Amino acid sequence: MNLEKGYAGELKLDVWLEGLTNDCLVVNDLLLKHKGKLFQIDSLAIFQSIIYLFDSKYHKGDFYLDGNKWNTIAADEITSPLPQLERCESLSRQLLRQRLNTNLSIDPFLVFTHPEFTLYHASPELPAIFPTQLNSFMKKMNNMHSKLNRGHEKLAEQLVALHLNDSPNTEWPAYDFGQLKKGVVCSECSSFMIEKGRIWICAACGQTENSQAAILRSIKEFKILFPKKKITSNTIIEWCAVEGDRKKVYRTLTNYFKKVGSRSASYYID
Ligand SMILES: [Zn+2]
């Protein structure tokens, strides 16, 4: 679903990269594998002597850094986007060196594209491009000396050739219900949302959703992940990590599904 609709952040990153006028190549949306590890790249910009790796983030609102921890001003901790960027950079570098025989250096950046994003206490060392820096960074890229040759083109072609299509051969990681973190995941940015009364709010991007829509979306995800499991109210309460009123789960199930079986062993089907 995410591939089809594209994250809002990725779309903005694409639009921003359209401003490139320098001699360079942009490769978007790569799913690669190196030494058995899968990793995803939002965008790569290949210049004469450097490759920029961009990881797009669509966080909205005011955040602050406390050491390595990322928090919203409302004091909710969110998952730091840095470890994922570092993993992606490291695997990309290894793949470029070991399989594509290139010594071009890689410079990774988190690109924050939401105009209402602020990060307090950020060090200038943080590999990030903030909304207020998008224009100046673009100027820097366009003013850089860059003249590509056939080697660069070949590199881009090889990267695209290594891209794994979402085919039936996709090797999914093993997972089971007990092992997965429970909760409702944001439809915009995939962060976990917070249940507040009748709505769910995303701590990362501020997206809100009414409980029925959020639960229904989570049930669809549950069905994709566990096609053989029965949809019971208890399973969905656990799956969505509902802490408040459970009636919203019963109501959603009754409204959208058909109840099968007797009281204690009932489950729901489409
Ligand atoms: Zn979100």
Write out pLDDT tens, residues 39-91.
999 999 999 999 999 999 988 889 999 988 999 887 778 888 999 999 999 99
Domain membership flag for residue 131? yes
For residues 7 and 128, state if they share a domain: yes
Distance 145 CA to ligand 1 centre (A): 38
* Closest to 57 measured CA to CA, from 39, 74, 75, 78: 78
Q: Which of 43-47, 109-113, 142-146, 202-206 has the lowest mean pLDDT?
A: 202-206
Check whether 3 has a pLDDT greater than 70. Answer: no
Check whether 4 has a pLDDT greater than 60. Answer: no
For residues 90 and 152, state if they share a domain: yes
For residues 233 and 258, state if they share a domain: yes
Domain total of the chain? 2
Vertex 207: Cα angle to 119 and 118 (nearest 5): 10
Domain coverage including residue 259: 177-269
Distance 205 CA to ligand 1 centre (A): 4
For residues 48 and 99, state if they share a domain: yes
Domain membership flag for residue 171? no
Domain membership flag for residue 168? no
Distance 9 CA to ligand 1 centre (A): 11
Helix axis angle for 211-225 and 247-256, nearest 10°, is: 70
Q: Which residues surround ligand 1, an ion (CB under 5 A)?
A: 186, 188-189, 191, 202, 204-205, 207
pLDDT tens digits, residue range 96-121?
999 999 989 999 999 999 888 999 99
Check whether 1 has a pLDDT greater than 50. Answer: no
Distance 62 CA to ligand 1 centre (A): 14
Q: Which CATH number fits the domain that encloses residue 127? A: 3.40.1350
Check whether 265 has a pLDDT greater than 90. Answer: no
